[in-house]
Amino acid sequence: MVEVTGEDGAVTQHVTSEGERSTVGQAATLGLSLAESKVILAGIQHVLVTTQADAHCRHRRRCSHCGAACPLKDHRSRRLVSLFGTVEVRAPRFGPFRCGVACRRSLTPVAEIMPDRCTPEYECVLAGLGSALPYRRARTLLAELLPLDTVPAQAITLAIDAGHVKFRRAA
């Protein structure tokens, strides 16, 4: 369970993983397994990234000049790849501020904090291993130890066929 304290002091609890262990002492049941630790790390990363992205979007929605909230244009999804899992974040886009002073074009706050769609730490570790090993081998090695290949809950596949966009949700 992860507890997150908001800017207003409200505490929200998020369950990242649940499990049971027998109390009988066996080497195989002591501590966490690698699979369990990947699930826990991916869950914690998901909670932290979504909470931070939501807070940043709420902060950026207010105009620094007039204080009014800019209108919501739409929502899109954006993926962040990190060492602790891939997180899909709901990214709102805001229309221009009504006063026209602070910003005269659409604003995507999540793109400001995720410009490369991966964390600098992920790039650094992958580049470091990639200099010693072939890229594919380095990625495979990291995936064995860390939850890199955690699939977001709702992935969407888009296909363009003769000018028509078709999509399906991955199950």
Quick one: pLDDT band at residue 107, thresholds 50, 70, 90?
Answer: confident
Residue of 120, 112, 110, 94 whose CA lies nearest to 51: 110
Q: Which two tokens stand for residue 120?
A: 């600098």
The model's pLDDT over 5-38, given as tens digits with 9 standing for 90+, comes to 777 777 777 777 776 666 666 777 777 788 888 8
Q: Which two tokens stand for residue 133?
A: 């090993």
Q: Model pTM greater than 0.75? A: no
- Exposure string over 56-92, b if 16+ CB within 10 A, otherwise e: ebeebbebeeeeeebeeeeeeebebbbbbbbbbbebb
Quick one: pLDDT band at residue 137, thresholds 50, 70, 90?
Answer: confident
For position 79, what pLDDT does the model report? 92
The model's pLDDT over 66-89, given as tens digits with 9 standing for 90+, comes to 778 888 888 889 999 998 889 999
pLDDT exceeds cutoff 80 at 160 = no
